[in-house]
Amino acid sequence: MKKISTLYKKDPNDLSRVINEIAPENKWVIDGEGIPTRKFDGTAVAIIDGELYKRYDVKKGKQVPANAIPCQEPDEITGHWPHWIKCDRNNPADKWHFVGFDKLCKEVPSEFIDGTYELCGEKIQGNPEDRKSTRLNSSHDQIS
């Protein structure tokens, strides 16, 4: 799944800010195309063919890791290029990814598990979602 860029145009004088104009590539959102979904604030993960991956941003001038799966083309302005890299149960940096993954595998039949998720919990990104446990949240939870 491609990560959507900021809905608004970036300020050319300060790329960390936006201006009050819709980015042309995202006009489809304003036109009502697509389905609004809930954006969880954690860290992006994907399950591809039943295997767990985390998002890795290859910054401009950096080497793409072996076996990385590109999510999209590099950003023309910043050079950031998001990829999926496979998580490793023996890597301590992936510990919480597998806590969420294992919990999801107990709740959801394996044939329905592939997709993108947001890993949220007490040990993830300062826990802005204020979660008491670590879990994978579906990136496709619709807003009603």
Q: How far is CA 75 from the centre of its chain?
A: 16
Q: What is the pLDDT of residue 54?
A: 95
Do 72 and 44 touch, CB atoms closer than 8 A?
A: no
Predicted local confidence at residue 94, as pLDDT: 96
In this predicted structure, what is the pLDDT of residue 46? 93
Distance CA 37, CA 141 (A): 5
pLDDT at position 43 is: 86
> What is the structure's pLDDT at 48?
93
Q: What gap in Å lies between CA 108 and CA 119, rounded to an integer?
A: 16
What residue ranges of the chain have pLDDT lower than 70?
1-4, 36, 139-144
**Distance between CA atoms of 61 and 77, rounded to whole angstroms?**
13
- Encode pLDDT of 20-29 as tens digits: 999 998 888 8
Which is nearest to 41 in space by CA: 135, 134, 119?
A: 119
